[in-house]
Structure 1
Amino acid sequence: MAQIALTASPTLVSFKGGSKQGATLFSDSLRVSSGAAANLALSPSRGFGFVASDRIRRGNEGVAKVSGGLSYTWPDTNKPSDRDPPPGMKGSSRFFTIGLVASWYSSNIGVLLLNKYLLSNYGFKYPIFLTMCHMTACSLLSYVAIAWMKVVPMQTIRSRVQFFKISALSLVFCVSVVFGNVSLRFLPVSFNQAIGATTPFFTAVFAYLMTLKREAWLTYVTLIPVVTGVIIASGGEPSFHLFGFIMCIAATAARALKSVLQGILLSSEGEKLNSMNLLLYMAPIAVVFLLPATLIMEENVVGITLALARDDVKIIWYLLFNSSLAYFVNLTNFLVTKHTSALTLQVLGNAKGAVAVVVSILIFRNPVSVTGMLGYSLTVLGVILYSEAKKRSK
């Protein structure tokens, strides 16, 4: 039977493995007696090494064997760990995330610019009908993505109360989209984005009024440049339109109200829905709300659209493409959040507003004053400071 004894004397341990040879001095050694003497010592770089009076062999699998029958296996550091992702996969994941962000930017800015083109430049003056087209596309494409393509698992509505809560959210959502589209008829995209950047201000106000939730004082201080920037931008906007301004403020407030209501109404674990499933149920309810509003407020819009299509068939393709983009805004928003984080999405959103302003000015050539750009820059700075203050207060 083998006897194992520790010796405290320094021992020179030799090892041989692959193309490398070496010797290391250790303060302790392990002596094994089983007909053949062997010293075992820990090596900082290679695991264990063996010295014996008989032959020692190290195989490709990192196994050292002594002729007396003793063997020890240690990890081969020349081999990559099974837990390490392959280098190619890391690169693919990085490119996938960049592609998602680019798709999110393209769909967001694209639907905004196309809305502006249709409602203002092209002369299609039916924002409620346009919103209904968006919601119809979201209903159909959401079902395809969830039920057929399995982008996310389908979640079901569990009670009548939950259904009424989703309906309330859908109504507020409709108001925000319709008012936003109405404002685009009268305001340039650059000014529209400047007003839209005040969403954190309205979110903080509604959160306090409805939940009595107070933020840190520094968070409220950061909202001062947000509001001040919009005031400055309004005073320096050459294309300022009062009704469009009111509609845009109402759309921004409704968007903030929807986010606060969502946190209140769907707060219990049994009622929470991810954004894709929430859109699946909200979109068809929105169509039900928008249909009578379209028929009453935009009389004979279907007939007018068909008449326009007879003169210029491109209007049909514009509406189809625009409605599909409206869905992909929500899809890419969800995927970017899933593959990055909500904070990253917030930072990217701030930058997206600036990109949208630049692109819209280049395309529509709307006049911009230095005062207006200064006000918008101040608003964006305030939003960035607000995001940082919220992050630190958590």
Structure 2
Amino acid sequence: MKMITRSLLLTYLYLFIYISLSSGVILYNKWVLSPKHFNFPYPITLTMIHMVFCGGVAFVLVRVLKIVAPVKMTTEIYVSCVVPISAFFASSLWFGNTAYLYISVAFIQMLKALMPVATFLMAIICGTDKARCDLFLNMILVSFGVAISSFGEIHFNITGTAYQVTGILAEALRLVLTQVLLQKKGLSLNPITSLYYIAPCSFLFLFVPWFLLEKPEMEAQQVTFNFWIFFSNALCALALNISVFLVIGRTGAITVRVAGVLKDWILIALSTLVFPESKLTGLNIIGYAIALTGVVIYNYIKLKDSHSSQLSSDSIPEKLKALMKEKKLEKKSSEVYDGDEADVAGASATVDEEAPLVPRASHVAGRTNSD
């Protein structure tokens, strides 16, 4: 009984750490980027700092300390899989972080409810999922809720909304590409190995828009860097990635999604306290409640599908199952479960702007924005 109690307490502690870090990183990013607060309105630069820091730490963990094993990565797989995934990853972080300059944290979280819609549509386009009436109606419900929230937004800004929606589409495409390109190659990346392979490439993709858009302005403004602010900000983003890794490993991706829904409500409430300029209306809350209802139903449908697939698998004759298991083991290049890349069609969101890897952990199992 003591062991059960201790195990439950540890699980709740992990979930509390994840929710705290995820909310904290988003609020921290908003504070750094906002012209009304720290006033560092350079989202590409901030994202590149995250990429350098997290990629460097991942390199140390994989190559120096060898705490995490690398996967069997070939040049062909890197060019055909990692490069396009990194491009959309960098885009999702860039656009998602830029949205902080124009719209509130609360409204951004409401827009993120569109992640299942975007992922579902991209999965259909890429052929990894089939168009289904129940899911389609569910997507309409989510979209309707977000539309109501947008209509009720006092400080609605079309530019910020466009940036956020574009970031969501880029992240959805990244998630689907991860399934199409990497998983078909038999590769499975956990948050650390994802950063190890993807962060350097994403940095290079971000360098071009940074050089053209932000570098001239930063030189003209003679911007100075506060080392401790950016170090602590990047450290929080890294800690979030690790916490997602630990929570998914201990509880599973579904639990993290549920925790993500709870986190969104907490974050929306906190953002109105930390940033008084953020104002919530009744339509905001009603619309977001409708959208989240759709997200919860969506996750339930995908969970039922997963259980049905598992039951079908259990009915396969034992010899055939043994052969399939043996073949799977031959292909397997990593034994660590990655919640962001598994069940991508059911992902609610997973690179969060919160974290460079989980590029949207707002409904993780689907987080990576800067972070």
TM-score range, shorter chain: 0.7 to 0.9
CA shift in 2, pair 1:308/1:188, >3 Å: same
**In the alignment, which residue of structure 2 is the partner of 1:96?**
10
Structure 1 gaps of 5+ residues are: 1-86, 310-314
Residue in structure 2 matched with residue 346 of structure 1 by the alignment: 257
Q: Gaps spanning 5+ residues in structure 2: where?
A: 307-371
Q: Which residue of 2 aligns with 1:119?
A: 33
2:156 is matched with: 240
**Pick from 128, 133, 136: which aligns with 2:52?**
136
Letter in 2 for 1:387: N
Q: 1:176 aligns with which of 80, 92, 98?
A: 92
Matching residue's letter, 1:377: A
Residues paired across the two proteins, number: 303
Structure-2-length-normalised TM-score: 0.76
Match for residue 344 of structure 2? Answer: none
Q: SS of the counterpart of 2:237?
A: helix
8 Å contact from structure 1 (residues 126, 301) kept in 2: no
Alignment equivalent of 1:193, drawn from 109, 112, 118 = 109
Q: Relative to 1, partners in 2 of residues 1:269 and 1:288: Cα closer, same or farther, differing over 3 Å? A: closer
Shifted more, 229-238 versus 139-148: the winner is: 139-148
Map of 1:205-220 to 2, 5 A cutoff?
A: 205-211=121-127, 213-220=129-136
- Specify whether residues 154 and 114 from structure 1 end up closer, same or farther in structure 2 by C-alpha distance, changes over 3 A only: same
Taking only the aligned residue pairs, the percentage that are identical comes to 28
Q: Kindly state the Cα deviation for residue 165 of structure 1 after the two structures are TM-superposed.
A: 0.9
2:70 match = 154
The equivalent residue for 1:391 is 303
Partner of 1:204: 120
1:367, distance to aligned residue in structure 2 (A): 1.3
Contact 2:71 2:187 in 1 (8 A): no
Question: 1:269 deviation in Å?
Answer: 5.2
Task: Tell whether 2:175 aligns with 1:262.
Answer: no
Q: 8 Å contact 2:128–2:180 — kept in the other structure?
A: no
Q: 1:150 to 1:98 in 2, by over 3 A?
A: farther
How many Å separate the matches in 2 of 1:156 and 1:247? 36
Q: CA deviation at 1:351?
A: 1.4
Whose helix fraction is larger, Structure 1's or Structure 2's? 2
Q: 1:94 to 1:144 in 2, by over 3 A?
A: farther
Deviations 1:266-324 (A, max 9, x none): 12354333332122100011112222321221125665797444xxxxx3222111111
Please name the residue that 1:358 is paired with: 269
Q: Distance in 2 between matches of 1:304 and 1:113?
A: 28
Between 1:360-369 and 1:137-146, the stretch displaced more is 137-146
In 2, distance between residues paired with 1:203 and 1:244? 21
1:239 and 1:206, CA in 2 relative to 1: closer, same or farther beyond 3 A? same
CA contact (8 A) 1:129 1:301 kept: no
Relative to its length, the structure with more strand (as a share) is 1
Task: Give RMSD over aligned pairs.
Answer: 2.0
Measured after TM superposition, the shift of residue 178 of structure 1 is: 0.6
Q: Secondary structure at the match of 1:290?
A: helix
Q: Greater RCO between the two (CA within 8 Å, min separation 6)?
A: 2
- 2:134 and 2:298 mapped to 1: Cα distance? 8
SS class of match (1:266): helix
Change (3 A) 1:289 1:131: same
TM-score with structure 1 setting the length? 0.72
Secondary structure class of the residue paired with 1:317: helix
Task: Give CA deviations for 1:150-202 in whole Å, capped at 9, x if unaligned.
Answer: 55333241342334311110110000011011001000000000001110001
Cα distance in structure 2, aligned partners of 1:198 and 1:252: 8
Which residue identity does 2:228 align to in structure 1? W
Output aligned runs, 1:25-64, within 5 Å: none
